Structure 1
């Protein structure tokens, strides 16, 4: 990765055209519906259509974990313009995952675009959103089945 950055810097200097990386715009996530202050809330912002449901498998994902009682508004800072998906899990027992019982989530979850609940995980097309070049707020409703 450092070698690629170095090559880009050398090519830029050699061309005599300085370029600055895109700084991006601030992204804030506003959560509603968190049923208790128990546990933590995990948030994952992913640009990867193949890995958006598994934050750990996406090297380009931005992850945050906050105490559930403090997770009403989350500032992710500057995000480059592009297409992303947001996943939120209310991990009430702090075990680092969304607990399931017979395929049904036992803890709270939410996604960008607040898709309607279906008996399957959402598809990228249902939850993707375009991050504009100006600051924005994504509002996500946390839902509970059990």
Structure 2
């Protein structure tokens, strides 16, 4: 029985499982400079907290739209946060009330009204190749 298990494990290892592709298309980039910063979260706990994204990506801005294809996320539930780091200081600059001064966006195109969005509003399931269209809020 143990040898059968080892044989099956070996055969499975010969055919690695590919992660689904997550393509994010970002629009409404007003200023062609800086970088688009992307954070991927997979839990409600610490959602939107700096340093708690499970993955971070960056795209240099060279036109008014941007596209990134992510292939290193296993199947699961995620939420995406984006901001346009216009001045390339690696932070989302905010005004005295905590409202971002740089353009930002969320998966499901959630547009916060009086407070930051919740994970449950931004989450989506990644079980097969998926494309998100996110329009930045300026």
Pairwise TM-score range, normalised by the shorter structure: 0.7 to 0.9
CA RMSD of aligned residues (A): 2.2
CA apart distance, 1:52: 3.0
Q: Where does structure 1 lack aligned partners over 5 or more consecutive residues?
A: 1-11
Question: Deviations 1:89-127 (Å, cap 9, x if unpaired)?
Answer: 101111111111122210010000011321211001110
CA apart distance, 1:87: 0.4
Q: Aligned residue pairs: how many?
A: 130
1:124 aligns with 2:99: no
CA apart distance, 1:23: 2.5
Aligned equivalents of 1:13, 1:39: Cα separation in 2: 56
CA apart distance, 1:13: 7.5
Q: Which has the larger strand fraction?
A: 1
> TM-score w.r.t. structure 2 length?
0.82
CA apart distance, 1:49: 1.7
Question: Deviations 1:56-90 (Å, cap 9, x if unpaired)?
Answer: 234xx121112122661111124211100000010
CA apart distance, 1:15: 3.6
Aligned equivalents of 1:13, 1:55: Cα separation in 2: 47
Aligned equivalents of 1:88, 1:74: Cα separation in 2: 12
Does the aligned pair in 1 maintain the 2:105–2:136 contact within 8 Å? yes
Question: Deviations 1:11-62 (Å, cap 9, x if unpaired)?
Answer: x97843415564211111000111111111101112122133135234xx12
Q: Where does structure 2 lack aligned partners over 5 or more consecutive residues?
A: none
> TM-score w.r.t. structure 1 length?
0.78
